[in-house]
Structure formats: structure tokens, C-alpha cells
Structure 1
Amino acid sequence: MASETSPGIVDRVQRFVEEHKTAILIGTGVAVALGGAAYLASTSGHGGDRDKKKKSPKTPKKRKSVRDADGPILEERKPKAEKVAEPEEEVVPPTPEALAAMSLEEKTNLAASYKSKGNAAYSTKKFDVAAGLYTLAIDVSPKPEPVYYSNRAACYVNMTPPKHELVVQDCDEALKLDPTYVKALNRRAMALEGLRRYIEALRDFTAATILEKFTNQNAAQSVERVLKKFTAEKSVEILQTREPRLPSFTFVSAYFAAFRTRPLPAVGDSPTTGDSTLLLALEALAAEDYPHAVSFVNEALTQEISSDANRAEALNLRGTFKFLTGDVDGAKSDLQESIRLVPSFTQSLVKVASVHMEQGDPVKAFECFDEAIRQNTNDPDIYYHRGQVLFIMNEFADAAENYTKSTELDDTFVFSHIQLAVAQYKGGDLAKSMATFRRTLKAFPTRSEPHNYYGELLLDQGRFSEAVEKFDRAVELEKEKSPPNVLSIVNKGLALYQWKQDIGAAERCCNEALRLDPECEAAVATLAQLNLQQGKIEKAVEMFARQAELARSEPELASALTYQYATAAQMEFMKNYPSMAAELSAIAQNMM
């Protein structure tokens, strides 16, 4: 289950970012001050509702705009208020000769009259007529006016079907003339979204949000909406084309450590080729040589295996590796076949329960646990992993009861004790949790895990010095292993960051973790956030991209991509609006 791999470390660093005056809630979007920049992150999947209300053409009397059918306003971008003219049945443009003979003032006034007529036509939803009138305004105006292009784009937006390409073209022209024209940015973003050009739409919605100093919740919600659409599609695309691969050594070793060691299968005096290859796979697994374990078990299942029990064992192992690589359907198939061959194989039942939880079906997960108990009521693994499911469902009292049952059946399994202490802590019984941890530390003096997890709880309480001491002890104990589990190193870095705001020390810890385990997701995710905190946007994007590469499941990948592309959009804004850097920092500071 998830908690053995300590994924909460990533949540903690992100929560720390939010709790230390670096996170600003803006509607349902988040902007994080970054010493000269602000980062937009998705916090919900809800897009903004469009304003469907229309104002009467007669109110207010001094009217500077007319309301679009879908919410945005046709701004006239002139300080002087104009009377909206009634559209004429037919407008006859001047001949080229007549236009050439006009003064600049006459041309300006004529363009303004066409725009006024266009506004009137637009207000009565005559979008084709309005677009033609704005075109005349563009043609006769002595100098380009961004509002003419933006208003014509509004007409194209409201046509059936919308003419997204023309909207983009007109907004391009408007933004060449005025790069800070927010309504043109929003219109172009909507058109780009309609064209499924999500990265460009995200760029524009992000720019509009920042230019309006985070006061427009619709723009912030649009950032989230586009991010959600894009990352969902991108995640599926990546997972469909990406070659399956194991996650980090730290992740895989923690997963297998959550199951008690079982004896090797019996193969007799004359094992088949498949039996021998299966034994090689299990020996590689015991040596934590996971790539060879995968290779051997895949080979074994193509060979003759002597018994259903041994074949079930091989299917269990292959299904486990499929689960770890994100092939959830393949994992379910192998594990269910393992159970069909040996219905009493409780480890396969427990792992199928994990698959059901991954697929969001806790009812079937608990059915698997119930069946496992019917098959072997005294298997402590069943209760430990049922406790894990209850734990992630926040049913801490029930989780603690299952961990206790597991320890009663076998008190030599360190994780049952650790998770019992954590469940007690989450359930609000601090004294009992600390007592359980102290007993566990005494009972397992050579194991690093109690020190690491106890340190996490101390860190959560703000007892930084004690937490660092525990992480240091865990690091020392892990040095005896090759390769070591590096989570305690990352935890130490996070503790130093929270305690002393020592970003350098935190980075050194994460880099050391990556030296030992180059695919440690927690170290990569923490480095990404640390770079973000320092305003190292380009490096943060790089680390978020690396986090996406390491993501095992679709939700993990979507989350990493959200950070990656939201940060990249901010970086694009800083590139396009360099003069805004100092102002953006001031805005972020004032909003804290």
C-alpha cells in the first residue's frame, strides 16, 4: 500500500510552501510568491461560469461598452463616451478615391462611426453584420486600433459554429498593437482552447490573470480548466506510448518490504526449466535485484512449470511487477489467475485488493480481504494491508485495530508496529502513538524505518531538532545496505528547510538522495518545489518534467504535468512581459 513508500513527503513540502507565507489563495487558484514571480497551480477542477446577464442598451446613460453574449465586454478603449448608433440596413463604404481625399480626422470619425454601428449590430446579435462593420472600421482607420480587431474577434466567437481561427488572427493583431490588452488575451485563449491548442491557451489565460493582478477569478479558473483538460489528455497519451518501467529502487523495495518473507516454493529433486527460472526470479527478488527478477519471472512463465502452486507463485510475482509499472489491468489478470489456480493464496488476494483500490473500488477491495480471511484467518499480512486501506480512507481507529491484530499474529514485522503508531497519531492519540514508537525503536534497534517514521511525526509537531536526530540515525542505519533507502535523507532536508529555512542544506540532501537513487520521486518533487521557492523557474520546470517521467500512475502523472506546464506558462509570461517582474513580486508580497 501507498504509505510504506512515504509519499506524504511530497505533500508535506507542498503544504510547507503554503503555510509559510508563500501561498496566496485566489478564488480556487493558487499563486505562490517566488521572489519576483508568481506560480499558478491547479487546486480544483471547476471552470468559471460565464456571465449570461445582459445590460439594457439604455443603461447606464454614459455607456462605454456593450456586453458580449457569453460574458466578456466589448471595450471601446477611449476615454470619451460615445452614443451607440442604430445599425443601418446598408452601409456603403467610401470609394478609394473618396477615402484618399479625406483628412485624418474625417477618417478617424468615419472609423468610429462604423465601430458604433458595429456595436449596435452586435448588441442585437447580428454578428455577421457587426463583423462587417468592424472590418470597415479597420479598413478606413488612419492608424490600427486594437479594439476594432478585438471586437471583430468577439463576433467570430459568437458565430455558429465559432470561427476560432479568425478569432486567433484578430487577437494576434490586437495584441501586436497592445500586448497588455486583457480582453484580447482572454478571447484568444478561449479560441485556442476551442482549437485544443491547450499550451497556448494556458499561456494567454495565465498572462491575463497576472496582468489583472489576480483579481479576475474567471481567468484563474480558466487556467485550472485548461490545465485539467490538457493534463488529462497528455497523461493518457504518455501512458499509452511509454514503455513500462519500474519506479525507483526506494519505491519498489518499500513495496516488497510490506510483505512478510515466505519460503521458496518446493520444486523437488528434478525441477522443470520453469521451476528453476522461477527460483532465480525469487532469489533476485530477495537480493533486491528487481530488473533481473522481472526478467526471470517473465521467462519462467513461458516455460514449463511443474505445479499449479508454482505457476500461481510466478503469476503473483509478475502481477506485482505489472502493478508497480502501472499496468493495473495486466496486474489484475495475473493475480486473479493466480487465485484461480490456488484459491487459498492470500497474498494474491491481498494484492488484488490493492488493484481494486487503485481503480477506486473499495467495496471489491474489502471483499478480497474477507475472502483472504476465510482462506487463512491467521495470516497477519491480511490484517496489515486491510489496515493500510482503512488508513488511506482516514478510518484510523479501524486501521489501528487491524494493525494490532497483525502484530498479535506476528510481532516480528516492523511495519505493523510503525503503522499502528502512525494511525494512533492520526486518530489524535498523541501519547499512545509516541509510546508505541518508543517500544518499536527498542524492539527493532537495527531497523531504520522506526527512526524515519518517528522523525516524520516529530517533524509534523515542529520538533525539528529531535526530528533531524531521528533522520540522521535512520541514514546511518541505511548506510549498512547497498543500495540504501534514501527517504530519510530527503526527510532530513525537508526538516532543515522547515526548521532553519536552509534551502541549500535541503537541496544538498535531495541531491545526495538522487546520487544514491537517481529515480527517487520524493527527492525530485522536493527539488522542484525548492527551485520554485527560489524563483528558479526554468530549473523548476525541468524538475517537474523529471517528476512526470517518474510518475507511476495517471493521477501522479497528471499532478506532475500540472505543475510543469503551469510553471512553464509563468516562465513564458516573464519572457513576454519582462518589465512586469518587479511589479509581479510586489503584487505577490502585498497579497500575503
Structure 2
Amino acid sequence: MAASTRAVSSSGLSLPKWQIALAIGAPVALGLGIWYYRSRTNKTQSAEKEDKQIKKNVADAAASVSVPIETQKDAKKVNGIGKINEKESVAPVVEEEEDPFKQAQTYKNKGNKYFKEGKYSDAIKCYQQAIDVCPKDKIQDVSTFHQNRAAAFEQLKNYEAVIRDCTEALKYNGKYVKALHRRAKAYEITKQLEPCLEDITAVCILEAFQNQSSLLMADRVLKELGKEHAKEAMMNRQSVIPSKHFVNTFMCSFAEDPVFNLLKRETQQETDEAKGAFAKALDKLKDKEFDNIIELCTNELDTESSDIAIKRLARLLRGTFLSLLGEHEKALEDLSEVFNDPDADPQVRVNALVKRATLRMQLGSPEESLHDLLMAAELGPENADVFHHRGQVYMLLDQANEAISDFAKAVSLNGDFPIALVQKLYTDYRAAVSMSNAQKVAAALTAFEDAIRRFPSCPECYLLYAQVLSDQQEFQKADEYFMKALEVDPENATAYVHRGLLQLQSAGNVELATKLIEEAIRMDNKCEFAYETLGTIEVQRGNLRRAIELFDQAIPLSKTEAEVSHLFSLKDAALAQLKVALNLGVTLPSPMN
């Protein structure tokens, strides 16, 4: 499977999202740590009501709402009250000389009684009367009356009225948690996700991130909003070739690639003029100059005199780079055409199938991916790449036994496939941990050291072993192996990111972690993993504007809609925090500083 920062992939470089979150102390919702806040000011603004339109229309609003049949029947039984209209009053008779504020409380209490009895339209009338008579200086009470009426409208599924009344309530009390939460629910139901996110973010802040229900709602809204933004972004995205290191790692995950293996062969020296377009593409691939490879492959395919076998390889290489570029539909078309050619070399067809399966898994189609890999196993039963990449898919699907079996098969078919070997060892380790089998855990650690001695120039061996050591709380030794990986591969930006995460996990050293990840970005300005991780840390530090900038840099580097959606969720969370903190007049100090 292609190198990825989303889960442990063929590169062996990456942490799942939940592990990143644990390393920096982030909870489920908002991508943020638990923030305690303090008010900059404790002022209450007094405002004139602006509900004349509500007052004028409330009887119509109540009468027009569809009330359940049992509610209408109950209404006829209480005080002889039947269907509500503008001329009928459900409130008790009140003496004129009674204090207006007491009158308002009486109306409110009557409304509460109706509400408890399920007579929501009657309750709405009472709350309106409470609003009408309440003195204007009793702003907290007026706010409560509006919020209560919103609750009644909510029961009747009149969500526009809910939003309107909650907004009125918040004019009098901007930190009214019940009104914010109720309006957020109405916004969510009516698919107004951005204002919904702002409201539920305000609720989380005012509750000091202690209410799990609010946090889960925020997480749910962020995911939905992220999906919306991702769809729009994917329609307008510009293709970006990944970094040289990413492409190299991807190539190393295929031990039997018919195109990549051509680079290992000695070829006759030819002048540039004598070379065909595909030969020039191979030169670019060998020199890690990837920008023109797709164009050169297209030129080869457009050449009428070209050898048909060369054309198939050119199409396979073009499909590979279209996939890396994020041009998924075009990549699927090329890879499918190669596989569907019955006259093509079986190894070429198998490679096309494996890459198509990898791409389908990235696009969220695991069943189609496994179907492709099953066909690949039938067509190429001795091809180690098939079982290595199918093991990857099984790992992502949490099917550990199947993954272990396939990784073992890949290693048995090709003993000189270091990435497949360490991936097998990592899977063995995870299985031993899940069984709490200390003997098997120790055996897995020993096997990792044997693999490193056997493949001392493979950085992935050091990187995955370092992650295992970190999981075992052997932080110093883990850092030593991350540094050994950098000795073997000095331009490995991902290793710097993992070192940064290790500093957070082991010592809470935010400054050193930040410096290491910034070094990763300096080394590889296309390392999406580094931008996202540093952005999440900056959120923890309270540097929201900087975090937003980093997420903006990560988004165009992501290749799938799911990845883009996740990044937009992080960005949207930070934007909402900024806006809400300003609106509420609160400071959100960082636990990391």
C-alpha cells in the first residue's frame, strides 16, 4: 500500500490519528486540549427587546404548528380549553394591580405546567404573555422566557422559531448555555453547520470541556462540516506531486514492480536523441525528477511506432503517478486498462491490480480493494507484493489474523523484502500485546533487532522498531533508533516528526518537539504529516492563527477526500475557537505553555 501518514503503512512511518491525539493530549472533540477559561470582563449588557414581530405572530405560530393528536385531546380536558386561537387565553385571571414582574412569573409558571403536560402550544402562549408584561430591566428573566418558549417550539419541531427565540434569549444573556445548546441543535437539524459549530463550541468553552455530550456533538458537527468543505476543495484542487522522499518510500513498498525494477538493471548508454519517451521517463524516475514523468509516458503512448510491451509499461507508470498525484479517476482508468489486457505480461497485470486495490482502499472501498487483491493472488500466487499489500488492507480493517498470515506469506515468497518483514514483525508485536503475552512481546523485540542486523540500510526497520520501543515506554532507546534511521536516511522528514511526538510523549517537551517538526518541514516542504502534527500542537499551545496556517498548508498536499475532510475539521475547530472566544470575551490559556 502506498506510503501514508494515516495509519501504519508500507513505509512503516506513521501513527494512527488517535495515537497522535494521545501523544499531545487532545480529546475527541475540536482537536483541542481541555481548556479552562477566565472572563476578560464580567459585564452584562442591557438591551431593549426586539420581539414585536414575535409578539404579533406568536398565536399564529402556535396554531399553525402540527400538534400531536394526543396533545390536542388533552387540551380539551384542562380548564375546558380546546383549540387555541387569538381570542382565547390560557393564562389565569390576574388582578390589574398585581406587580408586573409577579405577573410574568405567574405566566411563566403556568407555561411550565403546560409544558410538563405536553401542551406545548398552550405553553407558548403563556411564555409570550410573560415576555409582554415583564419589566424591561429584568433581562435574565426575559432571556429565560424566550429560552423556555424555544423549548416548546422545539417539541413541536418548529426549528426556525427555536432559532429565533434562542437568539432573542442570547441578546439578553450572551453566555446562556441552554439557549446556545438548543440553538446549536436546531442549526444542526436544519443543516446550518457553521453557526451550529460556533454555538456548540461556545457551549464546550462555557462548560470547561467537561460535558461529554457536548464534546461528542461538537465532534459530530466538525466531521460533517469537514466533509462539506472537503467536497468543495476536491472539486477545485490543484494536483501536487508528492515529495521525493514520499515517492521513494512508495517505490520501496513494491519488491516486484516491473517498472521500478528496470532501474536496477544495467542498460546500454544511449544519447538523449536516441531514447524514446519511456526511456526518458525512466531516467527522470532514477534521478528523482518526477514532474515530467506523466507527460513523457503520454508521449510514449501517443507514438504509433512504439513497442506494445513498452506502451503497457508506460501506461502502468503513468497510472502509478496519476495515483500519487491524486488524479484518482484517471489513475483507475490506466490501471484497469493494463489489467484488462489479456496479452500483457502477468507480472504487469498483477502490479496494476495491486495498485488499483491500494487506490480503492484509499478511496474508502475496502470490499473492491480486497476483490482486486484476490484476483491478483490468483493471477500471481508467487508475487510477494500481493500479500504484503493485502496484509496492509487487513491491518487497516483490524483483521489481525489475516494480516499476520499475509505478511508471513510475503516474507516467505521474498526473503529480501525488508519492509514486508518489519511490517510482519510489527503485526506480530501488536498481536502479542493484545494477548498480554510477555514472552511473545519479547520475541517480537528480538526479531526486530535481528531484522535491523540483516537490513542495516533500511530506515523503515529502525523507524518501526522505534515506535514499538516507544509503545513499551523505552523512550531513550526509541529516540536512539529514530536517530539511527536519520543516519541511514538523513532526509527522512517523517523521522523528525516522530522524534517530536516522542518528546511530547516522554517528557512533555513542547519546545523541542516543535523545533524537530519545524525541521521536518524545512527539510521537506511537502510533508503533510508534519504540517498537520505541528498544527495540532499549536492548537494545544493556544496559537490558533498559526495552527490554521499550518492546516491550510497541509490541505492541498492531501490526496483523498477523507484526508482533506479531517484537516478541514481541525481547521474549522480552530476558527470556531477564535471567533467564539472573541464573542464571549474569554481568554483560553494553553495547558502546554
**Is TM more than 0.5 here?**
yes
Where does residue 338 of structure 2 map in the other structure? 338
Contact 2:147–2:169 at 8 Å: present in 1 too? yes
Alignment partner of 2:33: what SS? strand
Checking the alignment, whether the CA contact within 8 Å between 1:87 and 1:118 is kept in structure 2 is no
Determine whether 1:197 maps to 2:230.
Answer: no
Task: Show the 5 A alignment for 1:179-218.
Answer: 179-214=174-209, 216-218=211-213
1:338 Cα deviation after fit = 0.7
Q: 1:195 to 1:133 in 2, by over 3 A?
A: same
- Which residue of structure 2 aligns with residue 439 of structure 1? 450
Aligned counterpart, 1:551: 558
Work out the CA distance in 1 between the residues paired with 2:301 and 2:274: 7
Equivalent of 2:534, from 527, 531, 535? 527
CA distance in 1, matches of 2:369, 2:588: 51
Q: Give me the whole-angstrom Cα distance separating, in 1, the residues matched to 2:37 and 2:120.
A: 42
Shift of 1:517: 0.7
The answer to whether the 8 Å contact 1:489/1:509 transfers is yes
- Alpha-carbon deviation of 1:396? 4.5
Using the size of structure 2 for normalisation, the TM-score is 0.76
CA contact 1:294–1:321 (8 Å) conserved in 2: yes
Deviation track 1:450-494 (CA, whole Å, cap 9, x = no partner) reads 222222222222222222222222222223xxxx23111222222
Aligned partner of 1:316 in structure 2 is 316
Change in Cα spacing, 1:107 to 1:93, as seen in structure 2 (3 Å) is farther
Change (3 A) 1:372 1:580: closer
Given the superposition, is the C-alpha separation of residues 29 and 493 from structure 1 closer, same or farther in structure 2, using an over 3 Å criterion? closer
Distance in 2 between residues matched to 1:150 and 1:86, nearest whole Å: 28
Aligned to 1:574: 581
Answer whether contact 2:198 2:576 (CA < 8 A) is retained: yes
Is there any run of 5+ residues in structure 2 with no aligned partner, and where?
A: 39-66, 69-77, 90-95, 433-439
Structure 1 match to 2:75:
none
Determine if contact 2:111/2:124 at 8 Å carries over to the other structure. yes
Question: 2:34: which partner in 1?
Answer: 33
- Given the alignment, which residue of 10, 18, 23 partners 1:16? 23
- 2:437 corresponding residue in structure 1: none
Q: Structure 2: which amino acid aligns with 1:204?
A: D
Cα deviation for residue 253 of structure 1 reads 2.5
CA deviation map 1:97-129 (0-9, x unaligned): xxxxx88x7443444455455556656666566
Residue 443 (structure 1) shift: 2.9
Aligned to 1:141: 134
1:485-564 map, 5 Å: 485-564=492-571
Amino acid at match of 2:313: E
- Contact 1:489-1:513 at 8 Å conserved across structures: yes
Q: SS of 1:170's equivalent?
A: helix
Distance 1:227 1:111 in 2: 40
Q: Residue 242 of structure 1 corresponds to which residue in structure 2?
A: 237
C-alpha contact 2:479 2:499 (8 A) present in aligned 1: yes
The Cα of 1:347 is off from its aligned counterpart by 0.9
SS of equivalent to 2:239: coil
Instruction: Tell me if structure 1 keeps the 8 A contact 2:30–2:573.
Output: no
Shift of residue 436 of structure 1?
3.1
Compute the RMSD of aligned alpha carbons: 4.0
Distance in 1 separating the partners of 2:305 and 2:18: 44
Query: Residues 410-429 of structure 1 correspond to what in structure 2 (within 5 A)?
Result: 410-428=414-432, 429=440
Native 8 Å contact 2:35 2:588 kept in 1? no
Q: Which residue of structure 1 lines up, in the alignment, with residue 10 of structure 2? A: 4
CA contact (8 A) 1:182 1:208 kept: yes
Q: What residue in structure 2 maps to residue 63 of structure 1? A: none
* SS of structure 2 residue aligned to 1:33: coil
Matches within 5 A, 1:46-445: 106-116=99-109, 118-119=111-112, 130-131=123-124, 133-143=126-136, 144=139, 145-159=142-156, 162-164=158-160, 166-214=161-209, 216-260=211-255, 261-263=260-262, 276-304=276-304, 306-341=306-341, 342=344, 344=346, 345=348, 346-396=350-400, 398-428=402-432, 429-445=440-456
What amino acid maps onto 1:562 in structure 2? S
Change (3 A) 1:408 1:140: closer
Closer/same/farther in 2, CA of residues 249 and 134 from structure 1, 3 Å limit: farther
Q: Deviations over 1:188-214 (max 9, x none)?
A: 223322443212111112222343455
Q: Answer yes or no: is the 8 Å Cα contact 2:463–2:481 preserved in 1.
A: yes
> 1:419 is matched by which residue type in structure 2?
Q
The answer for unaligned runs of 5 or more in structure 1 is 38-68, 71-83, 95-101
2:292 is paired with a residue of what secondary structure? helix
* Aligned twin of 2:45: none
Query: 2:153·2:162 contact (CA, 8 Å) conserved in 1?
Result: yes
Instruction: Say whether residues 1:455 and 2:449 are aligned partners.
Output: no
Amino acid of the residue matched to residue 283 of structure 2?
Answer: E
Residues 32 and 539 in structure 2, CA contact (< 8 A), matched pair in contact too: no
The alpha carbon displacement at 1:259 in A equals 1.6
Q: Structure 2 vs 1, CA of residues 299 and 140 (structure 1 numbering), >3 Å: closer, same or farther?
A: farther
Between the aligned partners of 2:423 and 2:229, the Cα distance in structure 1 is 35
Is 1:274–1:306's contact at 8 Å kept on the other side of the alignment? Answer: no
Are the counterparts in 2 of residues 10 and 522 from structure 1 also a CA contact under 8 Å? Answer: no
